[in-house]
Structure 1
């Protein structure tokens, strides 16, 4: 402390409160105590802050032990754990060979037989159930309904004779595209539609197949007719196609050396069977492309009717 301070202090005391001021040593001791107190309070405050931070951190981590900080918004996330549907594995087939030349398996081929989209069984047969010839095949003679047989003779068998509900038969002459006007027709269909009870239509076609197989030959007048089943698929739910061949006879009933061919196709659509039997015209043979085309038209007409 400066030596002048005691003197200055005494002069100040004489000019102020007559009760006097504290001695310089007392003032110094008081100042030292305040400094120590302030330091102690600062240390306590710092310790309290550190302790509170530690307790708060422990509380946060205890409350959310599984909390993790995710990646930035623009960083790719982890792969999803959801199962990803895989492409279907093709079913092998023994008909094809793999890379090493060994037989590998492929999916089974789809049958050409289609299932009818309708299960409705009608009880009557309108005219609209019968197909219409294409314009190029029209003869202008129209068609006529009657009570004729729906199938040719097959060694006395009667396929599809039982279980019928309703049946209609018509005759329909046709000409081939390009045949000049005024010429005779190129063929004549005996076209029938038969409604069967449930299950009997399929049985009728089975009976027809058996009848053709069991009758490979038969006498027709003075000649012999040969019957044979032919491939037929893609018509209705199922179909049967067979041919009848016999020697062609002239006007004197003598063989000419040629053969006369007749085609007959029966088609099932649900509980309905339609038969196209081409009987020719004056000894002409059945043109298969025309019979195939008209078979498709017959199926379309029946499906439209059954909708």
Structure 2
């Protein structure tokens, strides 16, 4: 026997240890990966796109686990400044005092988002956009969608105002009857300023619309261009068109 060869007894002790090291290395290697951005073609959600960083979507036989592009609203041509584009859910969801709109919990089975850039009707495409609407869609299993709306209403009521860059933003909300199974409109108002930051004496305003269609919830966050006010009429039309798009997807 060579002096470098291992006895059968020594091999029996070393091999299980090597197997343990290899298994430990394989588990560790998967923990540091980054979340991929959803692709434009499929608009398919991944577990890391869930509304809360600590909540992982769960699979359900009766709830969708992917969201097609056709489920998202498209602006009419007279309002469309540019084509809609996929957006990360974490970037599309608004925040007020905290993570009010990101409380889907473990009943979320899929989530995805799109951004719409709109203009004033009749204006040429060369003009500055009027605003952007970030649309997020969640699918839930069980009573998750109803629970989300219930938690959201309570969270918004608990946030009558918040500070944004030294400016006080006042929050109000009301139900929107006749849209989906239930809908909520959240309004944010703040003291308006000129381009150089001086108070003008008026108010700026923007709105967030949320609607539930069975086990699907959509959140539409309207933001005026470069901090200006949003367009309530455009958001209302987009909300109703968005509900119809979800209805068509759900069949």
Structure 1 and Structure 2 fold alike (TM over 0.5): yes
Q: Does 1:145 align with 2:89?
A: no
Q: Does 1:166 align with 2:110?
A: yes
CA distance in structure 1 between the aligned counterparts of 2:227 and 2:124, rounded to whole angstroms:
19
After TM superposition, the structure 1 = structure 2 runs for residues 1-307 of structure 1, keeping only pairs within 5 Å, are 121-139=63-81, 141-147=82-88, 148-159=90-101, 160-162=103-105, 163-307=107-251
The structure whose Rg is larger is 1
CA distance in structure 2 between the aligned counterparts of 1:233 and 1:150, rounded to whole angstroms:
25
User: Could you tell me whether the CA contact under 8 Å between 1:154 and 1:215 is conserved in 2?
Assistant: yes
1:278-306 CA deviation, whole Å, 9 max, x = no partner? 01112331222211111111011111111
CA distance in structure 1 between the aligned counterparts of 2:93 and 2:184, rounded to whole angstroms:
12
Once superposed, what is the RMSD of the aligned Cα atoms?
1.9
| CA displacement at 1:251 relative to structure 2 | 3.9
| CA displacement at 1:247 relative to structure 2 | 1.6
Residue of structure 2 equivalent to 1:6: none
Gaps of 5+ in 2: 1-61
More strand by share: 2
CA distance in structure 2 between the aligned counterparts of 1:143 and 1:239, rounded to whole angstroms:
23
Q: Secondary structure at the match of 1:131?
A: coil
1:46-70 CA deviation, whole Å, 9 max, x = no partner? xxxxxxxxxxxxxxxxxxxxxxxxx
User: Could you tell me whether the CA contact under 8 Å between 2:224 and 2:231 is conserved in 1?
Assistant: no
> What TM-score do the two structures reach when normalised by structure 1?
0.58
> What TM-score do the two structures reach when normalised by structure 2?
0.70
